[in-house]
Amino acid sequence: MADVPAIGPHSGPHFSHDKTLDNSTRQYNQLTGLKLFAMSCSVVISVDEFAPFGKAGATSLFWLLIAGILWFLPITQETGEMASIDGWGDGGIFTWVKGTLGEKSGWTAMFYQWIHITVGMDTMMYFVIGAFSIAFNTPWFNTQPLIRFGLMMIILWGCVLIQHFGEKRVGKIAEWLFGLGIATPVILLIIVFITYLIQGNPIYVHLSWRTVIPSKFNGTTLVAFVPFILAFCGGEAQAPHVKNLEHPNQYPKVMLGLALTAICFDLLGSLSIAMTVPKADIQNSTGFVYTYGHLLSSIGLPGDLLGKIVGVLLACGIIGELSNWLAGPNQGLFVAARQGYMPKYFAKPNKRGVPMRIVVLQAIVVTITALMITFDSGENADFAFNVSMAATTAQYLMVYLMMIVAYIVLKNKYENLHRTYRMSNSRTFSIVVAVIGFVITLMAFFITFIPAEGTPAHLRSTYVITLVIMVVIVGILPLIMYRYHDKWSKEVAQYLKEEDKTLTQENK
């Protein structure tokens, strides 16, 4: 059997040191399979994308099945296989890409994954503020840029503070917020939607082969595919938590459960909006909450009051999702920092093993992007939402392009590495599935640069220019940072020796 590449914090030169660190912080970070499932679901299943799905009408069913079955389901199985390889359980995408494509590629993929969510968090916060604006009858929350930005900062830095207490606490919060703020509202929405249909209320979208499959594939119809890809992004972001699982071999099962749950929730949630609300009345930032109130009123319940309560619950669920995005990719970047890919300042965790310095760095970047997008969009909340969603998708698809290539190389060159899980016993089948995923990912990447439907004419150029600038900056930044890897590696190695002495003394 070929040697496993010496990568990740639990292999290579700092194995014994980081094992000591992990043991000293395990009480704060140990996770059950259910907690990891809840954390992963709260990252992937996001109700803030249901409204854009609803705008796609009956074709949302087509796009969801394409994205879910041909793209997301294979992705979860590929990541499950890579995470099950001996020595590849830590570091997530950084470890996987580094093990097949080399150090520079591994660092670049990890950085892309980490940086993309800086804009993605803006999308989540726009949804939260939109939900609050309906719940508290304060539309100016969503139309006044200064107030919108101030609320975003309260949400963001509040979530940063929670990270200080460790992954175990974050996982517990995620469990509750996912159940209360995501799963419960979506399940209730489905029940209310079925009741709405039984009562014979008007339906605005009818499902048939003619309406489900797009009549033509051009820029206008293909751009509708973007939110469907984004809806399934992020499952692999929780892979760095595998090391904290009580039973690490549960990870592939967690990913399979995640894929099936996400496809069902997104499918039913999007159809409930598309079939009950006229397309012209659907707003991306407030559409889900508006639909709830509309449906409840239509079946004879006090929709105004109950809709506001649901709005608060949904906002809390998205805040839980945001907290998990702060926890997942930052753990992977922390692994990279402790191998000298960042200045030694970022290689130091707090006493609970949480990389708070990296978390704060990410929050600062989120603040900058929020400032730029929020004030560029003025009072047009939907434009800010659409730009942040497209930028998030484009940046994240860069991650998946590299990860899929890494998996194809793995199957071609490193098939004999020991692993506890395989997507398929057929190497050829696995490669064909991965190639299909690569083609879909590449197409979706270029589609993101087409302005979303409904973008005002005077903002279309701003839309494209903003996306291009973000993607170019993100594309070259990790390559510039890699030039300092040798220098930072020496500084980090010295710091780790000093930290090792301190931990050894404390454990005596």
Q: What's the confidence (pLDDT) of residue 151?
A: 93
466 by DSSP, 3-state: which?
Answer: helix
CATH topology of domain 15-468: Amino acid/polyamine transporter I (1.20.1740)
Above 70 in pLDDT, residue 220?
Answer: no
Nearest by Cα to 259 from 44, 42, 35: 44
Is pLDDT larger for residue 270 or for residue 9? 270
The secondary structure of 28-54 as a DSSP string is HH-B-HHHHHHHHHHHH--GGGHHHHH
Q: Which residue is associated with the tokens 């500084």?
A: 491
Q: Residue 427 — very low, low, confident or very high, per pLDDT cuts 50/70/90?
A: very high
Q: What's the confidence (pLDDT) of residue 178?
A: 73
Contact 235, 43 (CB under 8 A): yes
Who's near 343: CB < 8 A, 6+ residues apart?
A: 488, 491
CA triplet 25, 44, 287: central angle to 5 degrees? 130
Sequence ranges of the domains in the chain: 15-468
Q: Residue 377 — very low, low, confident or very high, per pLDDT cuts 50/70/90?
A: low
Q: What's the confidence (pLDDT) of residue 10?
A: 37
Above 90 in pLDDT, residue 254?
Answer: no
Instruction: Copy the structure tokens of residue 470.
Output: 């973000």
What does the pLDDT look like over 102-136, one tens digit per residue? 999 999 998 988 887 777 788 788 888 888 888 88
Q: Which amino acid is at 71?
A: W
Strand partners, 85: 419
Q: CB neighbours (10 Å) of residue 108? A: 25
Contact 409, 5 (CB under 8 A): no
Q: What's the confidence (pLDDT) of residue 239?
A: 64
- How far apart are alpha carbons 3 and 105 in whole angstroms? 20
What does the pLDDT look like over 296-351, one tens digit per residue? 888 888 888 888 888 888 888 888 878 877 776 787 788 889 989 999 999 998 88
Average pLDDT over residues 3-26: 43
Above 70 in pLDDT, residue 431?
Answer: yes
Instruction: Copy the structure tokens of residue 176.
Output: 């509750």
- H runs (alpha helix) in 48-102: 50-55, 59-65, 73-83, 93-101
- How far apart are alpha carbons 181 and 407 in whole angstroms? 35
Contact 89, 10 (CB under 8 A): yes
The secondary structure of 436-460 as a DSSP string is HHHHHHHHHHHHTTSPPTT--GGGH
pTM equals 0.75
Above 60 in pLDDT, residue 424?
Answer: yes
What does the pLDDT look like over 174-195, one tens digit per residue? 677 777 877 788 788 888 888 9
- How far apart are alpha carbons 217 and 316 in whole angstroms? 37
Q: Which residue is associated with the tokens 């079955």?
A: 69
Instruction: Copy the structure tokens of residue 363.
Output: 């929050």
The CA-based dihedral angle spanning residues 134, 181, 375, 356, taken in that order and rounded to the nearest 10 degrees: 150
Contact 121, 322 (CB under 8 A): yes
Lowest mean pLDDT among 5-14, 164-173, 222-231, 357-366: 5-14
CA triplet 110, 328, 323: central angle to 5 degrees? 135
Nearest by Cα to 475 from 361, 373, 395: 395
Q: CB neighbours (10 Å) of residue 79? A: 24
- How far apart are alpha carbons 52 and 227 in whole angstroms? 7
Lowest mean pLDDT among 144-153, 372-381, 402-411, 419-428: 372-381
22-26, 130-134, 397-401, 495-499 — most confident range? 397-401
Instruction: Copy the structure tokens of residue 85.
Output: 């390889």
